[in-house]
Amino acid sequence: MLLLDKETFEAEVLKAEGTVLVDYFGDGCEPCKALLPHIESFSEKYGDKIKFTKLNTTGARRLAISQKILGLPVIAIYKGGEKVEELIKDDATPENIEAMIQKYI
């Protein structure tokens, strides 16, 4: 998984070829920490079909707000630089994340 920051987000997500998953997380977000092993597992399983990235919103608040990230965790799918789907807070379960991934592979 590629760790993004405000300098790399545009090139790696908004200007990327293909499909990109972004795991928006924060330092103090316990649900985010609980999802991480699942996201890493999906990255290993589907990483040849989707680019897996993560962004720590603690250090990139303005970027997160510009992407309409208002709560955590958020798992989003981007295609052609546009956010096409996202799972927010309680909807961001391992089962829902994998189902969302499978729609875009």
Rounded to an integer, what distance in angstroms lies between the CA atom of residue 105 and that of residue 49?
6
- Choose, from 29, 85, 88, 93, the residue flagged as catalytic: 29
C-alpha 68, offset from chain centre: 13
SS3 of residue 29 by DSSP: coil
Active site residue 32: yes
- Residue 86: both structure tokens together: 């996202």
- Choose, from 20, 21, 32, 64, the residue flagged as catalytic: 32
Rounded to an integer, what distance in angstroms lies between the CA atom of residue 7 and that of residue 95?
31
- Strand-pairing partners, residue 56, are 25
Active site residue 87: no
Q: Which residues are catalytic?
A: 29, 32
